[in-house]
Amino acid sequence: MAATEDTTDVDAALVRGRPLPSKSRPLDHELIVATAIAFIDEHGLPGLTMRRLGAMLDVEAMALYRYVSGKEELLDAVVERLVAGMQVDDEVPEAPSDGWQDFLQRLAHGVRRVALRHPKAFPLVASRPTEAPWLRPPLRSLDWVEAFLSGLTDEGFTDEAAVAGYRAFTSFLLGHLLLEVSTHGADVGPLDVLEDDADGSMSLAAFPTVRRLRPGLSEDHAAAEFEEALEELLGRLTLIRSEHVEA
C-alpha cells in the first residue's frame, strides 16, 4: 500500500537521511520547498513532479496540495527561497558600510554562492516570472532591489545612475552565472548544445582549430573570470556615477 502522511516509515527515513515529516517535523510548506530544492539538486529540474516529490517525502502527492496549489506555485516558492538565501549570508550586507564598491562585490559573491550551492535550480531564478516586468533576475525581489537602489543613491548615485547600475549589474550576474552553472549540470536550454563522446571528438572533425584548442577551452577559470568581469563592471559604474553627478 502506498505511504500516506500517517504511515511514514520512520526507519526508512532515518536510513535515507532525508528530512521527512514526522511527529517532531510535520509536513508543511517550508519542508516541501526545501525538499523540492534537494530533489532538483540531486536529479535536476526536468525530473521534478508532484508525484516524485511526494514519494521523496513518503506521502501521497495529493497531500502536497494542502500547502501548494501545484507545481507552478512550488517553483515560484523555490525561487523565493533561493533569493532569500542571501539574507542569511553573513557576508552580504543589507546596505553599504565600506563604500558602494564593497557593497556590490559582496552582493555579487552572495548571488554566486547561491548559484554554486544550487546550480541545477538557479536557472529558475532567470526563467520564472517576476513580480513586475521591470524587475530583473537575479536581483528580482523587491527587498533586494530596494537595498540595491537605496544603497547606491545613499552613496552618491543619482536616480538615473542607480537604475543604470541595476541594469548593468543584473545583466553581468545573470549572464556569467548561467554560463557557470551550465558547467555544473544545470539545464539551461540552448547552452547545452554539444554532447561529447568518450574522447571529446564528437562533432569536431570539421572544426580543427576548435579541436586543437579544446583543452584550453575546457579549463575552469570561472572564479578568476568572475572577479575580472566584476572589477570591469565596477569601473563602468564609477563612470556612470561620475557622469550623473548632480550639480
Looking up cell 553599504, which residue turns up?
Answer: 96
- CATH of 92-243 given 1.10.357.10, 3.40.190.10, 1.10.8.60, 1.20.960.40: 1.10.357.10
- Residues of the chain with pLDDT > 90, as a percent, come to 53
Q: Where are the domains of the chain?
A: 10-68, 92-243
Grade residue 192 by pLDDT with cuts at 50, 70 and 90.
very low
Most confident residue range from 20-24, 136-140, 242-246: 136-140
How much is the pLDDT for 245? 72
pLDDT digits 0-9 by tens, 91-140: 999 999 999 999 999 999 999 999 999 999 999 998 998 888 888 899 98
- Three-state DSSP string of 123-186: HHHHHCCCCCCCCCCCCCCHHHHHHHHHHHHHCCCCHHHHHHHHHHHHHHHHHHHHHHHHCCCC
How much is the pLDDT for 189? 61
- CATH of 10-68 given 3.40.50.1950, 3.40.630.30, 1.10.10.60, 3.90.1150.10: 1.10.10.60
Looking up cell 517553483, which residue turns up?
Answer: 75
How much is the pLDDT for 21? 58
Please tell me the pTM assigned to this model: 0.75
